[in-house]
Chain A
Amino acid sequence: MSEVPLIRLADVTKVYYLESGDFVALDHVSLDIMENEFVAIMGPSGSGKSTMMNQLGILDVPTSGELFINGKNVAVMTTLERTHMRRDIIGYIFQKFYLIPLLSAYENVEYPLILKYKHRDTSGKAAAVLKSVGFDDTLSAHRPSQLSGGQQQRVAIARALVNDPKILLCDEPTGNLDRKTGFQILDVLTGLHKEGKTVILVTHDPKIAEYAHRTIQLEDGKVVAS
């Protein structure tokens, strides 16, 4: 393993201030994730999995403690820097796919390239990535609503990959799919890990966690096993 971790949580606490009282979602969590790891984050609902995902995905910042991603302290970054980091370093794969409904499969995949380079893709990269997840030109022209769940998740994976991110952040990626399709998607993720991606998989299903090489167990906002 390389010496500098890709992700480092140092004593990270996340508190939600609610009217019913403060809710500690992450309680002094310290954790390192190295480059090219395949990590599963497990735990029952309410254990802090989603909060952890939001932290790792730089969608949120810790209440206290420090979070370093790719060597940078997230807390001291501007909103725009965080936005750019999400765009360039992280690929998101969600349970509900979260494709942009107004765009075709191809345009969904092309979208992050446009965000990064500010112009339409002329390199053929979007088409190439779509092809690698089994999409041809005809299928690529469809809107998300015209695709099956498995197909939508493949498009979502292609979108996550197109900017060549270091980290793939997968939040219950098989949660909305049947078993067979789910395992196909996991096979795709395994392949991507082999190609050198750091894959972080949030799940409550131990069978799915088995695909990972390391499992981080969360309970009541604390890491109980890693």
Chain B
Amino acid sequence: MKDIFFDLSVRSVKLNFLRSLLASIGIVIGVVAISSMGMLGTNMQLSVKQQLSSNVNTIMISSDVVRTTTTAGTPVTSQGIDKSTLNDIRNAAGQNDVIPIHRTSTQFTIGSTNGRGSIIGLDPNDITKFLTIDQGTNIKGGSDALVGPNIASNFNMNIGSRIKIGQDNVSITRPTVRVSGILTTRGFTSDGVNTDNAIIVPDTWYTDHYGDKDLYGQVNVILKNIDTINQTEAAIDDKVNRKTDVVRISDASSRLSSISSTLGTITTFILAIGSISLVVAAVSIFNVMMMSVNERVQEIGILLSIGTEKGEVRRMFLYEAFILGIIGAVVGGICSLVIGYSVVSAMIGNTAYFFLPESIVYVPYGMFIGIVVCILSGLYPAWRASNMDPIEALRAE
């Protein structure tokens, strides 16, 4: 059954084609804004979560900076984690891998180019427990080193390259390490070990040159089973922080959730910006609907006088708003896929999550909102049309 009021609406839209088209373009822009912003936010969250959760099974332990001192005026300092604390951690951690980490930042020279980066001291046996070597081999000799991919490409390092470590000073002969391997990109890590711009040296080499023997900046515990994270943390806390807070214990899962919630807020924010364009579109739809009503006053008068119910007149104008909404939503939905894909690939550089339900759902979601906005904008004009006095309306020219 074809509804004559729907027919009338379609014809009215066709009759004022350009005007209707322009109003629909407003909706198209609104739908595209909402959908692509939503997809951008979701893809960002998914790709960051993916990167973070790869080392979510790590507990990070660092020395508690704030230490109580007995003497007033003594500066509060961080000392690092000492050997007995490390042993306590090893005991509390049970079967899990415990990785003590030395770290500082240093100047270095490769060839004749000076650079600056992190230098990380690790037991060579610990390296493969959480790092992946892309080229070359793990540290074998006492002055072998691994380098991160960024540092390697920035300074044109190859396997066998030699790096002079320390301040460039003619009066001192600087120690040299030999690159035995290059690590894979880790990106933004959540275990506190950012190796992309770092030089990894054996712990013995590190303590020989920087001191700090048996004193570590950070100790990571890599869990065999992620579900034991809370009980392991509690065990370490009980053992180490028995009297006073000696170490601070954190893990990526809490950081992951706080980053996720931050990203969620950002997504909401950019969605809100996208919605502004829909508000503008709503105003333009409202305007077009009011024009349609005002131009058709006499026609409305005819409809009402020959026995059209108010509800039917209302329906006719709501259909018109709905048609504008449908056109805008369908075109907007198609454009969203194209533009959203381009935006995601340009800004995140990774479209692996684009077609996942939680990302692609923003297209129907945006379309639905676009249609709802149109119908809402049509409510008042439709109400106004249906409540006209037929005598007055007939008299209008």
Contact = CB atoms under 8 A, between A and B. Distances in A.
Task: Indicate the size class of the contact surface on chain B.
Answer: 20 to 34
A102 interface: yes
B391 A92 contact: no
Given A54-B391, A120-B1, A102 B307 contact: no
Interface in A108-131: 110-112, 114-116, 119-120
A65 B304 CA distance: 25
B10 to A, nearest CB: 9
Given A54-B391, A59-B390, A59-B391, A100 B303 contact: yes
B140 interface: no
A103 interface: yes
Given A83-B307, A86-B307, A100 B391 contact: no
B135 to A, nearest CB: 74
A115 B391 contact: no
A86 B303 CA distance: 11
A122 B298 CA distance: 29
Contact of B310 (A54, A79, A111): A79
A98 B12 CA distance: 17
18 contacts: A79-B310, A87-B306, A92-B305, A92-B306, A98-B302, A99-B302, A102-B299, A103-B8, A107-B4, A107-B7, A112-B306, A112-B307, A115-B307, A115-B308, A115-B309, A116-B307, A120-B1, A120-B2
Interface of A: 54, 57, 59-60, 79-80, 83-88, 92, 94, 98-103, 107, 110-112, 114-116, 119-120, 159
Interface of B: 1-2, 4, 7-8, 11-12, 15, 298-299, 301-310, 312, 390-391, 394
Given A54-B391, A83-B310, 16 more contacts: A59-B390, A80-B309, A84-B309, A85-B307, A87-B308, A88-B307, A94-B394, A98-B394, A100-B8, A103-B8, A107-B4, A114-B4, A115-B312, A116-B307, A119-B1, A120-B1
